[in-house]
A and B are shown apart, each in its own frame.
Chain A
Amino acid sequence: MLTARAFDTKVSALYKAGKIFGGVFLGRGHEAISACSAVFLTKGQDVYNPFIREQAGRCAWGDSVLESARCYFGSREGLMRGRDGNVHWGNPQEGVPAPISHLGAMASVVAGMMLAKRLRGEQGCVGVACAGDGTTSVGALHEAANFIAVQQLPVVMLITNNRYAYSTPNAQEFAAELTERGRGYGYEVHRCDGTDFFATLQTMQTAVAAARAGKPQWVVADTLRLCGHGEHDDASYIPAELKAQYADRDPLDVARRQLIDAGWLTEEEHLIWEAECRDEVQRCVAQAQKEAGPDPAAEDWSAVSWRP
């Protein structure tokens, strides 16, 4: 969570300095949910489908922020080699499909990956498909949700409700509770306060274990996006009163307090962690920035692997 926040802060600054191509999408306010979305997964066995605000989850999954930095800078060393950018990176062979921009499209991809594992007789694996409140209005998500339930695939559908789909508030996106959508398709349903680190951790632990045991799970985690949709967006449409309600609910602050209250962390140790995370981010961003971008003259422009 600390690494993700440090990375987001760094990328935001670089964006404002004009150093990033295209948009920048942060996970401020999402870190607890995001970290918990992947922390119970095992790379190489499970499947993880990060959404756009999932830097914390990518770290929890075990990927370095170096890959995220490479994607933003279009490094030729990166997985996407400048052919796709910002948060659109994945490593399908390790269990992370590369997301596309069309919301809801990746949930059925996760379903298919789990179906493949079932066909091969792989037991005990789980897939987590992350989506947002706005994505629950897209048909593709509903087709996938229903397919997963019908096939009883070991999938957790994690819906992060950050209150706004870009600028559109919940009330203009849906008229029923988001939990009811999952219940309607036959999922076991959970809801948690996504700013509460311990509660979210417990909810995801329960849901991931239940999905591993073979029952599809639907989790709604509530938070507020503590930034714009992208860094081009000042989020002026979020009322000041709502922002004020979340003033002391930044998930990083809540997590720090919870860990200190539990006696697992001291203020001093926390400061050391923060500094270490900042240093790691600094190192990775500096490396990605140094790496060469794609070479247009050497580009093969080939969209297929097979030719007659």
Chain B
Amino acid sequence: MAVTYIDAIHQALAELLAEDDAVFLMGEDIGGSFGGAFKATKGLAEKFPGRVINTPISEDAIVGAGIGAALAGMKPILEMQFADFGTLGQNQMANNAGAHFYRTGVPVNVTLRMPCGGTPGGGPFHSQSLEALFAHYPGLHVFTPATVADAYFMLKEAVRIPDPVVFMEHKFLYRWLKADTWQEENPLPVGKARIARVGKHATVVAFSAMVPEALKAAELLAQQGYDIEVIDLRSVKPLDYDTVLASLSRTARLLVVSEDFPYGGVAAEVVATVASMGLHLLDAPPLRLTSHDSPIPYHPDLWREHRPSADSIAAAAKYLISY
């Protein structure tokens, strides 16, 4: 039976609650039988009484209370209803949780689950990808799983790691992405990028929902005789430049794809680092493909044009190869 990305998240949450008494969940609409806006916590409140805590609509207080609970020895997993509203908890996450280990030597074991990314009709405030905004601050790890197995494995790792982790789970992947199982025999450690497709003509670096788009683009280009390597970053902080640079030493061409806005984003960060560490590896200028520098539109026709797609990735990669 096929399992989805959100099944993997639900399974990881259930196992975390069962395995460790210090784990509890906190967020909006997650208590009772409702199970949260996306049903990631469905059934957990009944199964783990008192450990799935419903909160008022108070993102700052959710994260602040999570930090307090972590300082008192717990391992809270916090849910933002949409990543977009994570901006309201960002002060606590960045200035309190993120700064804490450096200031005090005491790590803050909070995991912030952020349902992120675009879906048709999501509009400007239910679609954003805020990886760069959180990765900007010191002290936070930012995970961006792109597979069912990573959604499961990396969420479990997020709680095992004693630092604050921002766990960006893509809403489009929730029910669209399926696999036979969430279990992987030898999962790559967190911090390692995955070569999702081996190729030789160009390297496309992607993360989260842009990984399946990049793989589709690679299929399109394969029909035209181009062999594209696709790297799934898995976590944008830490970011595995070794794997990226090793790939570029074979392909000599880089395209970074991100669903986020262009200014100061993860794609800009990867291009800047590759330019400073590996310019000699490149036969063409390092490119990035991102969303437009405009708010995310509501109408599905506008939305599909706003963000990178398999077609636009294929076009950019083709330009890169022909440069």
A257 to chain B, nearest CB (A): 39
Number of interface residues of B (CB under 8 A): 50
CA distance A113 to B61 in the complex (A): 12
Flag the segment in B98-106, B115-123, B208-216, B225-233 that touches A. B98-106
Query: Is B161 an interface position by the 8 A CB rule?
Result: yes
Which residues of chain B have C-beta atoms less than 8 A from A90's C-beta?
104
List residues 63-117 of chain B with CB under 8 A from any CB of chain A: 63-74, 76, 91-92, 95-96, 98-107
List residues 136-150 of chain B with CB under 8 A from any CB of chain A: 138-139, 141
Q: Are A143 and B104 in contact (CB under 8 A)?
A: no
CA distance A102 to B24 in the complex (A): 26
A132 to chain B, nearest CB (A): 18
List residues 156-210 of chain A with CB under 8 A from any CB of chain B: none
Query: Is B238 an interface position by the 8 A CB rule?
Result: yes
Which residues of chain A have C-beta atoms less than 8 A from B24's C-beta?
119
CA distance A88 to B238 in the complex (A): 28
Given A304-B101, A305-B162, A306-B141, A109:B71 Cβ within 8 A: yes
How would residues 72 to 107 of chain A score, 1 for a CB under 8 Å from any chain B CB and 0 otherwise? 000000011101100010101100011011100111
How would residues 268 to 307 of chain A score, 1 for a CB under 8 Å from any chain B CB and 0 otherwise? 0000000000000000000000000000000000111111
CA distance A167 to B32 in the complex (A): 47
Query: Is A146 an interface position by the 8 A CB rule?
Result: yes
Q: Are A306 and B162 in contact (CB under 8 A)?
A: yes
Number of interface residues of A (CB under 8 A): 44
The contact of B192 among A81, A83, A146, A308, by CB within 8 Å, is A308
Which residues of chain B have C-beta atoms less than 8 A from A147's C-beta?
55-56, 58, 61, 65
CA distance A146 to B65 in the complex (A): 12
A-B contact pairs, 23 of them (CB 8 A): A80-B103, A90-B104, A93-B106, A97-B68, A98-B100, A98-B104, A100-B96, A101-B95, A107-B64, A108-B58, A108-B61, A112-B70, A112-B72, A114-B68, A115-B53, A119-B50, A140-B64, A143-B56, A143-B64, A144-B58, A147-B56, A303-B98, A308-B238
